[in-house]
Amino acid sequence: MFGDYLDGDIGNGDGIASLAEYVSSHAEPPPPTVPERSPEGRRKYRTVWISDVHLGTKGCNAQLLIDFLDSVDSETMYLVGDIIDGWRLKKKFYWPPEHNDIVWRILKRARRGTRIVYIPGNHDEMLRPFSGMSFGGIEIQRAAFHETADGRRLMVLHGDEFDAIMLSHRWLAFVGDAAYHLSMTLSHVVNVVRRRLGLPYWSLSKMAKHKVKNAVEFIGKYEEVVARAAAERGVDGVVCGHIHTAEHRMFGDTEYWNDGDWVEGCNALAEHADGRMEILNWPEEVAKRQVPVTSTAEAA
Ligand SMILES: [Mn+2]
């Protein structure tokens, strides 16, 4: 059925068809175009959470995610929603080979024995009816409860469940720093024109500043709403995605974790063997690794 979705709903790319065949038949998967690095020597975590990959869109940072998957292993991996962007795929079919390579790596991981739990988000909600089922070794669930090595109970969900509460502020989440700087430039242009027309000064940046402040408030409010829902369920904390903002905060005794996204931040959340958790910033990890090489190359 996962195969039907891949094959029928979103197009007939050869790679997707053969992946779908692999999922349903347990045959050898078609080889990835970017060869997988050996699993030996990978950083090993107890648990890894990723979300908001948005496969099927140009926004997906596939190269970095492939590098992440080839560098890190875990006993359990949670895919916390918006992994495949069905919304966008329905409008325009976009599926480069690297996106297949990511699906290939995830399926391969399941075969090697990693427990993989896929919690569909709003962009891959077409997989939600399959909750409770398992495809290619990947469990599909509406939400999950994770127990850390030190015994904390965490609720794992995508997080769009809270959009109804946040609806009036939702669009503000997309207002960012770049928009603020652009609006300052625009403000300047607008006021040059207004001055020539003899009109008084009008502050667009003041308005933009207000919007950015609202966006920051939106994120803060969202985090609080999600943490409160977790507290009401009597768990120690919550792991979610959805708002593309990796974060760890405490609301009273309740832990709030957001594993970020692979469109802008390229973050993952990881649990060590002792239950300690941390947010991984993959562009930073790659930069650290490349510093000695690039600095000498650039100096030469
Ligand atoms: Mn989402």
Which chain residues have CB less than 5 Å from ligand 1, an ion? 82, 121-122, 160, 242
- The answer to whether the beta carbons of residues 94 and 58 sit under 8 Å apart is yes
2-299, superfamily in CATH?
Metallo-dependent phosphatases (3.60.21.10)
* Domain ranges (residues) in the chain: 2-299
Q: How far apart are CA 105 and CA 101, in angstroms?
A: 6
- The answer to whether the beta carbons of residues 56 and 99 sit under 8 Å apart is yes
User: In angstroms, what is the span from residue 204 Cα to ligand 1's centroid?
Assistant: 30
User: In angstroms, what is the span from residue 81 Cα to ligand 1's centroid?
Assistant: 7
Tokens describing residue 193? 């024109």
Question: Helix (H) and strand (E) counts for the chain?
Answer: 9, 12
User: In angstroms, what is the span from residue 85 Cα to ligand 1's centroid?
Assistant: 9
| Cα-based angle 106, 129, 13 (whole degrees, multiple of 5) | 50
Q: Residue-wise pLDDT tens for the chain (300 aa)? A: 333 333 333 344 555 666 667 666 666 667 888 999 999 999 999 999 999 999 999 999 999 999 999 999 999 999 999 999 998 888 888 899 999 999 999 999 999 999 999 999 999 999 999 999 999 899 999 999 999 999 999 999 999 988 876 655 445 444 444 555 566 677 777 778 888 888 877 766 566 666 677 777 888 889 999 999 999 999 999 999 999 999 999 999 999 999 999 998 999 999 999 999 999 999 999 999 876 555 444 444
